[in-house]
C-alpha cells in the first residue's frame, strides 16, 4: 500500500532506535510529490490545552505531533461545520480551521474530546524522503479503519495495528518497549 493523505504510517519494529518515531502511528494529513505531513496519534504529552493556552478553559490532552516545529499547536478534527477554513484530509477527518472559532467553541464546551485532537509539532518529510524511509523498512502503510480515530486507545494503537498485520508482526507487537527490562 502506498502512502496517501488519510492513511496511517505505522512504524516498523526495525526503527527501535529512533526516539522520534519508535512505536508510533502517524496520520498522514498531506502527501504530495514535494512533501508529506502527518501527526503522531499515540504520543500523549503531560500537557492539557489549558496548560498551554490559559485563555482556553479546556483540559483536553495534547499530543506530540512530531519532531518538527514543536512550539506550534496543530489540530485535527471531525467537525468542519463548526470550524470554518478546515482542510479535508479524508473520510470525515479535517485539519486546522479558524482558531478564534475554535477557542469560542472550546470555552463554551461545544466540542468533545471525541471530536478533536491537539498536537505540538508535526511529522514532516521532504521530497522523496518518505519514499526512502519506506524502502528502508522504517514504515508500512495502513488504512485508517477506525470508526472514530479520536476515541481510539492510543496506548495500544501501535500494538493493535501490528497484530492486525499478522505474521512476524505479532511477535513484535508483544515485545517489551525496553528490551533491557526483559
Residue entry with cell 496517501 = 4
Contacts of 85 (CB under 8 A, 6+ apart): 96, 97, 98
Using alpha carbons, list the distances in angstroms from residue 125 to 33, 59, 83.
11, 31, 27
Q: According to the model, what pLDDT value does residue 179 have?
A: 52
Residue of 68, 66, 72, 39 lying closest to 53 (CA atoms): 72
C-alpha cell at 65: 505531533
Model confidence band, residue 139 (pLDDT cutoffs 50, 70, 90): very high
What is the per-residue pLDDT across 69-121, written as a single tens digit (0 to 9) for each?
Answer: 999 999 999 999 999 999 999 989 999 999 999 999 999 999 999 999 999 99
DSSP state of 136: T
Q: According to the model, what pLDDT value does residue 97 have?
A: 96
CA-atom Rg of the chain in angstroms: 16
CA–CA gap between residue 11 and residue 130 (Å, rounded): 12
CA–CA gap between residue 112 and residue 120 (Å, rounded): 19
Q: Is residue 16 predicted with pLDDT exceeding 70?
A: no
Q: According to the model, what pLDDT value does residue 176 have?
A: 65
DSSP state of 63: E
CA–CA gap between residue 27 and residue 55 (Å, rounded): 28
Q: Is residue 182 predicted with pLDDT exceeding 70?
A: no
Residue of 145, 25, 12 lying closest to 90 (CA atoms): 145
Q: How many Cβ atoms sit within 10 Å of the Cβ of residue 162? A: 25
Q: Is residue 55 predicted with pLDDT exceeding 80?
A: yes
Amino acid at each position: 500500500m502506498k502512502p496517501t493523505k488519510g492513511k496511517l504510517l505505522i512504524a516498523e519494529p526495525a526503527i527501535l532506535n529512533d526516539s522520534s518515531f519508535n512505536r508510533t502511528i502517524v496520520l498522514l494529513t498531506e502527501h504530495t510529490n514535494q512533501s508529506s505531513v502527518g501527526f503522531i496519534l499515540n504520543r500523549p504529552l503531560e500537557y492539557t490545552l489549558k496548560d498551554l493556552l490559559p485563555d482556553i478553559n479546556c483540559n483536553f490532552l495534547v499530543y506530540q505531533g512530531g519532531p518538527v516545529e514543536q512550539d506550534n499547536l496543530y489540530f485535527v478534527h471531525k467537525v468542519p461545520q463548526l470550524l470554518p477554513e478546515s482542510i479535508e484530509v479524508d473520510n470525515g477527518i479535517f485539519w486546522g480551521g479558524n482558531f478564534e472559532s475554535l477557542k469560542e467553541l472550546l470555552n463554551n464546551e461545544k466540542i468533545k474530546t471525541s471530536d478533536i485532537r491537539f498536537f505540538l509539532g508535526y511529522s514532516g518529510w521532504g521530497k522523496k524522503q518518505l519514499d526512502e524511509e519506506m524502502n528502508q523498512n522504517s514504515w508500512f502503510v495502513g488504512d485508517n479503519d477506525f470508526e472514530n480515530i479520536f476515541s481510539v486507545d492510543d496506548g495500544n494503537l501501535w500494538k493493535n495495528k501490528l497484530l492486525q498485520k499478522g505474521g512476524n508482526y505479532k511477535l513484535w507487537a508483544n515485545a517489551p518497549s525496553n528490551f533491557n527490562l526483559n
